[in-house]
């Protein structure tokens, strides 16, 4: 694994992660959206794509048919970025 940090846009990585699941998204008739301002971050692109792909895979796998998956990213204080993936589907029991 290359450990180089590069200047990347989270939106591009999220689009890439969604595109890998395109056939599953179509078969379940899911709507997808990516919300967030144009931000760039210095990060290991490979590792961030790996994490985002796992989150998108989970959302697509457990989303109910005919629902929406929403990916959101935003800058937060202290030079951090918040990335969230929301879907309507199977949830984890509170217990």
Report the pLDDT value the prediction gives residue 76, as an integer from 0 to 100: 86
pTM for the model stands at: 0.84
Q: What percent of the chain has pLDDT over 70?
A: 92
Contact 49, 15 (CB under 8 A): no
Give tens-digit pLDDT for 56-79. 999 999 999 999 999 999 888 888
Length of the chain, in residues: 95
Give CA–CA dist 53/51, Å, rounded. Answer: 5
């Amino acid at each position: 694994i290359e450990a180089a940090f590069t200047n990347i846009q989270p939106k591009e990585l999220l689009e890439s992660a969604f595109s890998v699941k395109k056939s599953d998204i179509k078969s379940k008739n899911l709507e997808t959206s990516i919300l967030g301002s144009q931000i760039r971050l210095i990060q290991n692109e490979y590792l961030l794509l790996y994490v985002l792909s796992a989150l998108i895979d989970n959302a697509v796998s457990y989303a109910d048919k005919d629902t929406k998956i929403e990916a959101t990213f935003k800058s937060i204080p202290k030079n951090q970025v918040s990335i969230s993936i929301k879907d309507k589907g199977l949830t984890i029991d509170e217990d």
